[in-house]
Amino acid sequence: MTSETHINPWPDSSQRRIPRVLSIAGSDPSGGAGIQADLKSIAANGGYGMAVITALTAQNTQGVRSVHVPPVAFLQEQLAAVAEDIVIDAVKIGMLGDAAVINTVARWVERTRPAVVVLDPVMVASSGDRLLAADAEQALQRLLRHADLVTPNLPELAVLLGQAPAESWEEALAQGKRLAIGSDIRVLVKGGHLHSPDCPDALVAPDGSVYEIIAARVQTRNTHGTGCSLSAGLATVQPQLGDWPAALRRVKSWLSGALEHADELQVGSGHGPVHHFHALFSTRAPEGNEFSSQLWLDSAAVRTAISGLEFIQRLRDGSLAKKDFAYYLAQDALYLNGYSRVLARASALAPTEAEQLFWATASRQCLEVEAQLHRNWLGAQASPAMPGPVTKAYVDHLLAAGSGGSYGEVVAAVLPCYWLYADIGAALHRQFLIDFPDDDGGKDGADGGAGSHPYSAWLLTYADEAFAAAAGEAIAITDAAARNASPADRERMRRAFGESAKYELAFFDAPRLYAQNTHPPRRLPER
Ligand SMILES: Nc1ncnc2c1ncn2[C@@H]1O[C@H](COP(=O)(O)OP(=O)(O)OP(=O)(O)O)[C@@H](O)[C@H]1O
Ligand SMILES: Cc1ncc(COP(=O)(O)O)c(N)n1
């Protein structure tokens, strides 16, 4: 099998969850730059990292003592060994050392044509030591045209253009455009070397268009390997998102965090490394309700989207089609059945008897509400309703959390159904009382008869104080679980909550997409 067989394995539009990323770069034994930084950056950004070593350096945080470039025949062997066995989703190229190495890598890239190539044209270390032979700068031009993205710092940008280094961001952008248009490549202009209060970066496309992003400059001397880490991170995130600006936003925000936590590492007495795994090691557990506050902030966009849904707007003003409401109720009953099982699982995992009882009661109440839905309306259906695609996916997600997840994950996964539902319910109820002050709902609204609002009885159920109290308790339990969870488990809790929140949104929107003409509800159920 040739190496070519393994490259570019999927169409441009598809995205890769765990991209396999190859760094072709030099070794920094102090661990802050080169392949060591690349592997950490790739892992921290969700990829699987591999490394083909172009050169060995003897360096630390104070500077580079010497450089050893192994024979290129051995470089070729490394490249072949990896490519002939492993699908490579993206390549990051860093330190190359000399012209022979550049030409070897260029030939390999020309032959194998990896799907994503990020070239960090490393020439001089931040310590001022040369990492590329002076006579090799010309050879780099050959590699440029094979790169999807080139990430020079300001001195490197100047060398690639044969000009003096830019001294302002405007000059840097002008140089970036010159390189991008002149060489028909995408260039990332980096502002790390500017003497400015912030650190702007800009993606310049081959047509000269610019996408700029600005981050605050972190006050730290520990910036060793930022360029390596940024380029390896971009090579990792681009296959996941398929979009350069989005990849830059994600990686730049991660890098800012890595710089902010760099001083915690206490590595060396010179320019130390950045903290690639700051998110994993941020060990301080939340003390009060910080975790749920964060979840609430995280879900702001979803909550706004729910309030803006046609289903919610029409439920509010009473213009919702009966078939949509009927679909919603039928799916709610099916959902509650699955939800009840997951609540029972939370009860089984609960660390205290009080929490065990809370979830067990909730699980039982779910079945009672489901039975009410059947009694009041679903019994009139000729055939049993099938779960729609959203109901199925949402319940599957909850069951998956219930079967493999920790207690924290389970409670975080079930929380949006309490919290987001109570939130939207309270808002609808408030608005209903303002818009329809005379509607008593229970008597005349249920069958769309005499009342001015056909769903008044349903909207009045949103005032249920017991449900609001249960939501409050579920939030407190989630905070307690987060306090006892590891950082990695907390991250999984956040993800589980976020997924469920998105399903809440999809659930309210599902009637618009999937409701068929079915019998209208016989009378309105209570939740
Ligand atoms: N102190 C800082 N605070 C915030 N961001 C920074 C800081 N220093 C560098 N950066 C960012 O780090 C990335 C690398 O920038 P830089 O221009 O320093 O490249 P580089 O010289 O190739 O990196 P290095 O040689 O340090 O590995 C850019 O996104 C830049 O904006
Ligand atoms: C092996 C290797 N590759 C790249 C760099 C550049 O990183 P920095 O500019 O932060 O020194 C380095 N110092 N060593």
**What ipTM, to 2 d.p.?**
0.98
Instruction: Please give the structure tokens belonging to residue 176.
Output: 């970036």
Range list of H helices, 209-321? 226-241, 244-260, 278-281, 290-298, 300-308, 310-317
CA atoms 388, 389, 393, 394: torsion sign: negative
Question: Phi/psi at 192 (nearest 5 deg)?
Answer: -55, -30
Proximal ligand: closest to the CA of 38:
2
> Per residue in 281-332, pLDDT tens?
766 778 889 899 999 999 999 999 999 999 999 999 999 999 999 899 999 9
CA atoms 159, 163, 167, 172: torsion sign: negative
Q: What is the mean pLDDT of residues 243-251?
A: 93
- Ligand 2 proximity of 33 Cβ (cutoff 6 Å): yes
Taking the CA atoms of the chain, what radius of gyration do you get in angstroms?
29
If you measure from the C-alpha of residue 126 to the centroid of ligand 2, how many angstroms do you get, rounded to a whole number?
7
> Per residue in 347-376, pLDDT tens?
999 999 999 999 999 999 999 988 888 777
Residue 9: the pLDDT is: 38
Most confident of 185-194, 278-287, 322-331, 508-517: 185-194
Residues contacting ligand 1 via CB (< 6 Å): 33, 126, 153, 190-193, 199, 201, 215, 217-218, 223, 225-228, 230, 252, 255-256, 259
Helix, strand, coil distribution of the chain in percent, nearest 5: 55, 10, 35
If you measure from the C-alpha of residue 278 to the centroid of ligand 2, how many angstroms do you get, rounded to a whole number?
21
Alpha-carbon distance of 35 to 53, in angstroms, equals 7
The residues with which 21 forms a beta bridge, in sequence order, are: 49, 90
Residue 49 annotated among the catalytic residues of the structure:
no
Q: What is the mean pLDDT of residues 20-30?
A: 98
User: Is the per-residue pLDDT at 30 higher than 70?
Assistant: yes
- Ligand 2 proximity of 51 Cβ (cutoff 6 Å): no
Alpha-carbon distance of 418 to 475, in angstroms, equals 9
Q: Is the pTM of this model over 0.80?
A: no
Alpha-carbon distance of 504 to 506, in angstroms, equals 5
Residue 366 annotated among the catalytic residues of the structure:
no
- Ligand 2 proximity of 34 Cβ (cutoff 6 Å): yes
Q: Are 183 and 161 in contact (CB under 8 A)?
A: no
Q: Are 441 and 433 in contact (CB under 8 A)?
A: no
If you measure from the C-alpha of residue 144 to the centroid of ligand 1, how many angstroms do you get, rounded to a whole number?
21
